[in-house]
Structure 1
Amino acid sequence: MKIAIKSFSDFNIQELYETLQLRTEVFVVEQDCVYQDMDGKDQNATHILGYVDDQIVAYTRIFKPGDYFNQSSIGRVVVSPKNRGEAYGQQIMQASIDYCKSQGFPTIKISAQCYLDKFYTDLGFVATGEKYLEDGIPHQAMVLVF
């Protein structure tokens, strides 16, 4: 998988369309969760895109400390349903973690869906606090400290 790191203004129209289509396919349709994915925060995020054969198959967005949480954060972690089981989730998350390290961010906080606990703990994240519902889906805060 080829990784690209972009600011919002670096997206071309096709990339933006593919990214929003992938996020909607998974977070709204597959997870049967009606919520506003386009939340006005993409403009302040750094976007990590994973390409296979010139198609976006994995994605995350990153916020620097203070833009979302007090710590840096990674969110909207998504892999195309057609491309699951190929370790793209681990690859896009590792690229995102590496980006945070390269920026000197000492801690990453995520709001993780609880069913993905093992996925995130395998990457070094540790659960903190109580579980909670976000858009009707059980979540927990997790942190990774360098």
Structure 2
Amino acid sequence: MSDRAFQVMPIDYASGLAELRAVRETVFVQEQQVPLEEEWDALDPLCHHVIARDQDGHPIGTGRLTPEHRIGRMAVLAAWRGQGVGDAMLLALMEQARNQGWPAVSLNAQVSAEAFYARQGFIPHGERFEEAGIQHQSMRRALHGTTLVETGAGAIAAMLAVVTHARRGLRIYTRELDPGLLDHPQVLDALRRFATATRGGEVHILVQDAGTPQRALAPLLTLAQRLPSVFTFREVREPVDRAYAAAFVANDTSGYYFRTLGHRFDGEVNLDGAGRARQLRDEFGRFWERARPCTEFRALGI
């Protein structure tokens, strides 16, 4: 994020066309070599559009919401990328969709931007495809209630969302540190950023099997050793607790990703499920009190 000031607001297509063109043709046509005739379509006049402007009123970003409940044409000028402009526009478009009473929105993300959308709760579905010579991934987010997670890619996106929206606390219940998920580079990077950027942050992790990730020298253990004041591990010991079949991550706001069967990645994610997130944190707390500290994780010789 940056201290550079900008503002996001709705814009009428007809009266704002010059500003929309200034951003979209710079980003898509000039930078990404999208043919001009493919950039503008018959949907544009029918869409809800937003514009981001800098403090001097110059356009720096655009996005649209189509009648088919799709977010698209998200573009930010190069000098403003990484400053929170894209997040602000995405949130504004989702708010417009909620005001329309839509249950969900979808989008086709350029693969390079997939993690950006995942952090805001969009989950990939279907196979990647090519559009205007660029690889894309379809993604979807429910605006009320849960979004289904069906694949490993969806699980990674769900983790990124829940971790990104944590304030100071994460609770993770896992069988054996979920190979393919908790060792994924994007998930590890999200956990590292949370741990280093959050003063007083805590990541409590319950495992059913401490031995397997220890023998495998799981990358998350390496990260935890570097940040021992943030990461704490315990192993479930009570037979009644070890029979618990599910797995989940819950943050301290209103986000969670829950899997009914802990050895599978399919489940549900919700960034606005305060009641369910609180229930999962409470459930985690009861397991935590009966579990044993994994002191062996502190010195693995990695």
Normalised by the size of structure 2, how large is the TM-score?
A: 0.43
Higher strand share: 1
CA distance in 2, matches of 1:87, 1:4: 15
Identity %: 28
Shift of the 64–39 alpha-carbon distance from structure 1 to 2, 3 Å rule, reads closer
In the other structure, the counterpart of 1:69 is none
Is the 8 Å Cα contact of residues 45 and 62 (structure 1) preserved in structure 2?
Answer: yes
Which letter does structure 1 place at the counterpart of 2:119? D
In the other structure, the counterpart of 1:26 is 27
CA distance in 1, matches of 2:100, 2:20: 24
Is the 8 Å Cα contact of residues 35 and 135 (structure 1) preserved in structure 2?
Answer: no
Q: Secondary structure at the match of 1:20?
A: helix
Give ranges in structure 2 of 5+ residues lacking alignment: 1-5, 144-302
CA distance in 2, matches of 1:86, 1:119: 13
Which letter does structure 1 place at the counterpart of 2:11? K
Q: Which has the higher contact order (CA 8 A, sep 6+)?
A: 1
Which letter does structure 1 place at the counterpart of 2:67? K
Structure number, greater radius of gyration: 2
Which letter does structure 2 place at the counterpart of 1:62? L
Is 1:141 the counterpart of 2:138? The answer is yes
**Structure 1 residue 140, shift from structure 2 partner:** 1.0
Is 1:116 the counterpart of 2:113? The answer is yes
Give ranges in structure 1 of 5+ residues lacking alignment: 66-71
Q: Secondary structure at the match of 1:26?
A: helix
In the other structure, the counterpart of 1:46 is 48
- Mean alpha-carbon deviation: is it higher for 55-64 or for 131-140? 55-64
**Structure 1 residue 35, shift from structure 2 partner:** 4.5
**Structure 1 residue 141, shift from structure 2 partner:** 0.7
Q: C-alpha root-mean-square deviation of aligned residues, in Å?
A: 1.3
Is the 8 Å Cα contact of residues 47 and 60 (structure 1) preserved in structure 2?
Answer: yes
Cα deviation digits, residues 49-107 of structure 1 (max 9, x gap): 11112111111011133xxxxxx111100111121121111111111111111211111
